[in-house]
Structure 1
Amino acid sequence: MAKGTKAPKGKKITLSVAKNCIKVTFDGRKRLDLSKMGITTFPKCILRLNDVDELDLSRNLIRKIPESISKFQNLRWLDLHSNYIDKLPESIGQMTGLLLLNVSNNKLTSNGLPVELNQLKNLRTINLGLNHLDSVPTTLGALKELHEVGLHDNLISSIPVSISKLPKLKKLNTKRNPFPKPEESEAFIDSIKRLENLYLVEEKDLCAGCLRKCQVARDKLNKIKNTALTAPKKAIFSSLVSPNSMAKESQEDWR
């Protein structure tokens, strides 16, 4: 930008504008949708609408989320993806009703994730993909209700054992991270083995035909894994990173 040129100002959000952006979802929830509006700073006026159930500030130019966001005590769904956020406020831990938190495609580093995340005991889905994380926050291991975890497109080299032991985990997306080669990390292989034991349904609930299909698929996966261990130079381990993951790159699929 040339010297003396002012940076473009983002769109100003007034209380009136925000009220007009409240929608009612199919299940009767109130969603404040301020996505794709060119917002550069968190609009403080929306704190007066803190009775909404869902808040969407995605696809904007926001760099900082204030501590006052904790005033949204009824919030179950918070979408902040595709902004320029490098740090989450500590007060986010007070939003204990959150079921979904999407902060993918931002500028977050591991230091930008507060330990207070471990207070979100009801959280079921968290997407931290497309950031600058070089490690997985161990606080996630305390979130026993987690069903889906997105860690794709970061700088992560290992997955903590606590993540693989999450009792309700069904989807783990760790694609496009600099994981070590299979022969370089036995511990990492062991963690993947534990994740491979995840089922969307219990075996007893499957019909005989479906159970056979699952067993055939597992046999194929084991064959690929054994091939990777005996032929370490062949880089095929990436296909084993996210067992049971149906996650797509589209951000809409994380809602």
Structure 2
Amino acid sequence: MPKGKGDKGTKLTLKNAKKAIRTTPDGRRRLILSNMGFAVFPKCLFKLTDLDELDLSRNQLEQLPDNLGNLTTLRWLDLHSNKLESIPETICNLVGLTHLNVCNNRITSAGLPQSLGFMTCLKSLNLGMNKLDRLPTTMEALGDLQELGLFDNLFAKLPEFVIALSNYAKVNIKRNPVSFAQGDGVRVVKKKLEPEEDMYVVYDNSLCRTCLKRCKENIGGGGGGGGGGDMVEDKRIRTYPGLMAPNSVATVDQDAWRIRKMEH
């Protein structure tokens, strides 16, 4: 597929890009360009006017073009494991995007666009393994979000508006210097797993009756008493698809990306 390498890394022709497009079982047009050595976003992609899914993960991209928002047909965008420090404001033009993965980059809080909150179709947003300590307040408008990855960042506390987004199904905040109080229907599930400790935020309305009852019992009686009520120990293994690590369709050397195999 590569046309050749130079100072700007691997190059891609429009002809080769078109040949690489595959149709998914549900009829979407997917282009996988993972681990291709791209240092610059391929300009020829802007000529693909009917692309639904784009995977540019595990490349060497340091920045995204300002006209990224021109790829308006995208529903799924994977940019994990690059060298990005920011996301352009024009990403808000991708109004139909449901899945965005920018995990394992170098993105700072200043590099997150305020326009992120205008992408109201987002169902999965993976911001893990970056340099974030706060989120744009506009994200409170993402009421349809089902998965939010914030693991391996610099959060000292959970952003207040996250609690207000009651439609969240799963929030992964493990390996952050996070400290926050339980409340507003949020339960902190602390799991003692060797060699490290995993921590997730689970909303009451996302728990079945049995699990919710057990959480309440642990807090009220068997949770250790006193300050122990702030944490609920749960020895069951829960999976968080898309939020455990970069996790794209390009499954190359998964152990290197800290993906832990879990059984239900």
Query: What TM-score, normalized by structure 2, do the two folds share?
Result: 0.76
Q: Contact 2:204/2:212 (CA < 8 Å) preserved in 1?
A: no
Q: Contact 2:171/2:202 (CA < 8 Å) preserved in 1?
A: no
* Partner in structure 1 of residue 246 of structure 2: 251
Deviation at 1:152, TM superposition (A): 0.3
* Partner in structure 2 of residue 216 of structure 1: 214
* Partner in structure 2 of residue 167 of structure 1: 166
* Partner in structure 2 of residue 200 of structure 1: 206
Q: State the one-letter code of the partner of 2:204.
A: L
Residues 105-144 of structure 1: per-residue CA shift (max 9 Å, x gap)? 0000000001011110111110000000011332221111
Equivalent residue runs for 1:12-23 within 5 Å: 12-23=11-22
Structure with a larger share of its residues in strand: 2
Aligned-residue RMSD, C-alpha:
3.0
Equivalent residue runs for 1:141-180 within 5 Å: 141-180=140-179
Distance change in 2, residues 1:216/1:142 (3 Å): same
Three-state SS of the structure 2 residue aligned to 1:252 is: coil
Name whichever of 70-79 and 218-227 sits farther off. 218-227
Distance change in 2, residues 1:230/1:122 (3 Å): closer
* Partner in structure 2 of residue 190 of structure 1: 183
Aligned partners of 1:97, 1:144: CA distance in 2, in Å? 15
> Structure 2 unaligned runs (5+)?
1-5, 189-200, 251-264
Q: Contact 1:31/1:52 (CA < 8 Å) preserved in 2?
A: yes
Aligned partners of 1:158, 1:96: CA distance in 2, in Å? 29
Name whichever of 8-17 and 58-67 sits farther off. 8-17
Aligned partners of 1:131, 1:224: CA distance in 2, in Å? 37
Equivalent residue runs for 1:231-246 within 5 Å: 246=240
Aligned partners of 2:212, 2:228: CA distance in 1, in Å? 24
> Structure 1 unaligned runs (5+)?
1-6, 204-210
Q: State the one-letter code of the partner of 2:131.
A: H
Deviation at 1:102, TM superposition (A): 0.5
Structure with a larger share of its residues in helix: 1
Q: Contact 1:57/1:81 (CA < 8 Å) preserved in 2?
A: yes
Q: State the one-letter code of the partner of 1:249.
A: M
Aligned partners of 2:14, 2:232: CA distance in 1, in Å? 47
Aligned partners of 1:128, 1:239: CA distance in 2, in Å? 26
* Partner in structure 2 of residue 97 of structure 1: 96
Larger radius of gyration: 1
Deviation at 1:160, TM superposition (A): 2.0
Query: What TM-score, normalized by structure 1, do the two folds share?
Result: 0.79
* Partner in structure 1 of residue 58 of structure 2: 59
Three-state SS of the structure 1 residue aligned to 2:148 is: strand
Three-state SS of the structure 2 residue aligned to 1:251 is: coil
Q: State the one-letter code of the partner of 1:200.
A: S
Q: Contact 2:57/2:80 (CA < 8 Å) preserved in 1?
A: yes
Distance change in 2, residues 1:170/1:66 (3 Å): same
Name whichever of 221-230 and 66-75 sits farther off. 221-230
